[in-house]
Chain A
Amino acid sequence: SAVISQKPSRDICQRGTSLTIQCQVDSQVTMMFWYRQQPGQSLTLIATANQGSEATYESGFVIDKFPISRPNLTFSTLTVSNMSPEDSSIYLCSVLDGPNQPQHFGDGTRLSIL
């Protein structure tokens, strides 16, 4: 299965700043996703990162707040913009090779906003 590397693994940021999280896969994959996970809660899908086009966002998430890039089939970034304490969470990248297949995850980025 694909190996996914996420950077940074954790960060502490000031209110109002932005942070870009990177997701690198060791092979070409069809689909990449970005999730948010609050402690003890389920994973919430932020968006699907589309190669060569704009990401597809889920309800409650907008491009201005969470801009996403996917320049090729092995790499994607998620930016958390103008951060507030409510953005403190774990952000996870996952990949998928096709329908009805399991997703494979990076180890996430633990983000704390002061």
Chain B
Amino acid sequence: SQKIEQNSEALNIQEGKTATLTCNYTNYSPAYLQWYRQDPGRGPVFLLLIRENEKEKRKERLKVTFDTTLKQSLFHITASQPADSATYLCALPMDSNYQLIWGAGTKLIIKP
């Protein structure tokens, strides 16, 4: 079955630098991959979706890449700010394309 691996250790980044988070999957290449942000006590909030035929997707300071050969997605935040501190989750569709399976998330801490 499909498994998702994200760095379980918190990532500490200096304000202004680029933060890079990794999402690896183990089995079949999904049709798309999603990234979400979750703040303490809140539900996940959708950020970006990248499809299997897209190498890269951008939204403001966010950039996502998708390498089906490496079975990996990278999530970048450029010019990071303390407000970017949160847990970032990646998610892939199950076979049905309606339901998702989720990584455990990586906690990002941006230090001023």
A, B from the same assembly: yes
CB pair B43–A31 under 8 Å, yes or no, is: no
Of B45, B49, B101, B104, the contact of A105 (CB 8 Å cutoff): B45
Chain B interface residue count, Cβ-Cβ cutoff 8 angstroms? 24
CB pair A42–B105 under 8 Å, yes or no, is: yes
Task: Mark interface residues in B22-38 (1 if CB within 8 Å of A CB, else 0).
Answer: 00000000011010100
Q: Which residues of chain A are near B101, meaning CB under 8 Å?
A: 42, 45
Q: Is the interface of A mostly helix, strand, loop or mixed?
A: strand
Report the contact-size class of chain A (Cβ under 8 Å from the partner): 20 to 34
Query: Is A77 among interface residues, defined by CB-CB distance under 8 A?
Result: no
Please give the distance in Å from B54's CB to the nearest CB on chain A.
12
* Other 11 A-B pairs with CB < 8 A, given A1-B46, A42-B104, A92-B44: A31-B98, A43-B44, A45-B99, A48-B98, A102-B34, A102-B46, A103-B44, A103-B46, A105-B43, A107-B41, A107-B43
A-B contacts, 7 of them at CB < 8 A, read A33-B99, A42-B4, A99-B98, A100-B31, A105-B44, A105-B45, A108-B43
